[in-house]
Amino acid sequence: MTDLINRKIILQQRPQGEIRDGDLVMEQEPVRDIRDGEVLLQTLWLSLDPYMRPRLNDSKGYMDPVGIGETIVGESVCRVIESKSGNYSVGDLVTCYTGWQEYFIIPGDAQMVYKIEPKGVPLQAYLGVAGMPGRTGYCGLKFVGKPKAGETVVVSAASGPVGTVVGQTAKQMGCRVVGVAGGEEKCRFVVEELGFDACVDYKAGNLQADLKAACPDGIDVYFENVGGEVTRAVATLLNPGSRVPICGYVSAYNAEDATKVETPFHVFKAMENPPEHRFFLVTEWQDRHQEITGILADQVANHQLKYRETVAEGLENAVEAFKGMLKGKNFGKQLVHIAD
Ligand SMILES: NC(=O)c1ccc[n+]([C@@H]2O[C@H](COP(=O)([O-])OP(=O)(O)OC[C@H]3O[C@@H](n4cnc5c(N)ncnc54)[C@H](OP(=O)(O)O)[C@@H]3O)[C@@H](O)[C@H]2O)c1
């Protein structure tokens, strides 16, 4: 046994609706010695992502639910602090699905572990715009949304890591880009810092009229991140031939009964002329992981890709930060800083 103590957040009981005290709790255990072929990682930065909430429910989605007593799933940036594998040296930096914990042991040939060489990119960006959310925005827009120059692209959750990359990539492709975000401050950032053409505050009370004014030529691509009232407003403005990559619908993730939620699929299928729409997963382009990470990291390094982040300090603050993110309290990528 090493002298190290691992703190981790486990699922003690399944949340009914919003996460409450006692649903996700911290536990600790000694870190065992590694065996031949294994690698010991220390978590530096933990990513908090909306997809983690549906995985706390007892229903099978596109991934298995987290089991009671199991560590909450999640990706992090880690440093190798001990290695008995020829594939890793002490000091190597990697992204890895460690879950919400401070130490993690992997076999030296584990899949979905990627070495990173920061080259002017902040480490934590590999969990945000140059990481899984960034690749999601980039691939979902380019390969499912297929925008053409001059078209109008609308993206919801526009100030978050997925929306940030969708909007800036669509601008690079010559589109008119309209964000939807919650609150004046986020909307101002989306236009003034990220360079979108407009941003509609869905909390201001005039969603339908404001969106119509921001999209005088209708909507050709809607990148779906939130569902709910935003989807219903967008649906009325979609042009013939429009495309809707369905990335997620975070407004429903805290629902007490997911089977009763009106999803974007219900909204679009009910239309007389439904847009081309489908759910996609970022892992569809897993074979291009390194190439697309490289494209996005280069854009971060040369300040072409702008973004915000919100940082919670220490694993003990992860649960509150996660609850806040599901209600839009985060401004940009939500992270937990664990160690330097
Ligand atoms: N399919 C995939 O492979 C894949 C991969 C990664 C992420 N995703 C999805 O991509 C979406 C965005 O992820 P992200 O990491 O960039 O998250 P994010 O934007 O950092 O955080 C979620 C945001 O959703 C918005 N929101 C929360 N409740 C809402 C409501 N009731 N109505 C409207 N908006 C609400 C909030 O922004 P506002 O304050 O602006 O409302 C909040 O900040 C999520 O749906 C996620 O599940 C999918």
Closest residue by CA, ligand 1 atom 38: 182
pLDDT tens track for 145-186: 999 999 999 999 999 999 999 999 999 999 999 999 999 999
The burial of 26, by beta-carbon neighbours within 10 Å (0-12 exposed, 13-18 middle, 19 or more buried), is given as: middle
Report the distance separating Cα 48 and Cα 334, nearest Å: 6
Report CA(224)–ligand 1 centroid distance (Å): 9
Report the distance separating Cα 166 and Cα 155, nearest Å: 7
In order of their start, the domains of the chain are 5-128+308-337 (3.90.180.10), 132-283 (3.40.50.720)
**Is 60's pLDDT higher than 80?**
no
CA-wise closest residue to 7 among 26, 21, 22: 26
Structure letter (DSSP) for residue 58: S
- pLDDT of 64 reads 87
**Is 296's pLDDT higher than 80?**
yes
pLDDT tens track for 251-295: 999 998 888 899 999 999 999 999 999 999 999 999 999 999 999
Is the CB of residue 310 less than 8 Å from the CB of residue 321? yes
- The best mutation among 190, 222, 225 to test binding of ligand 1, ranked by most ligand atoms within 8 Å of the C-beta, falls on 225
Report CA(186)–ligand 1 centroid distance (Å): 13
Is the CB of residue 237 less than 8 Å from the CB of residue 219? yes
Phi–psi pair at 188, nearest 5 degrees? -60, -45
Mean pLDDT of the chain: 96
pLDDT tens track for 116-128: 988 889 999 999 9
Structure letter (DSSP) for residue 33: P
Report the distance separating Cα 169 and Cα 143, nearest Å: 12
- pLDDT of 79 reads 98
Question: Is the CB–ligand 1 distance for residue 264 below 6 Å?
Answer: no
Residues 6+ apart with CB under 8 A from 251: 226, 227, 228, 229, 230
Question: Is the CB–ligand 1 distance for residue 282 below 6 Å?
Answer: yes
Structure letter (DSSP) for residue 259: G
- pLDDT of 333 reads 98
Output b/e per residue, 165-196; b: 16+ Cβ within 10 A.
bbbbbbbebebbbbbbbbeeebbebbbeebeb
Q: How confident is the model at residue 110 (pLDDT cuts 50, 70, 90)?
A: very high
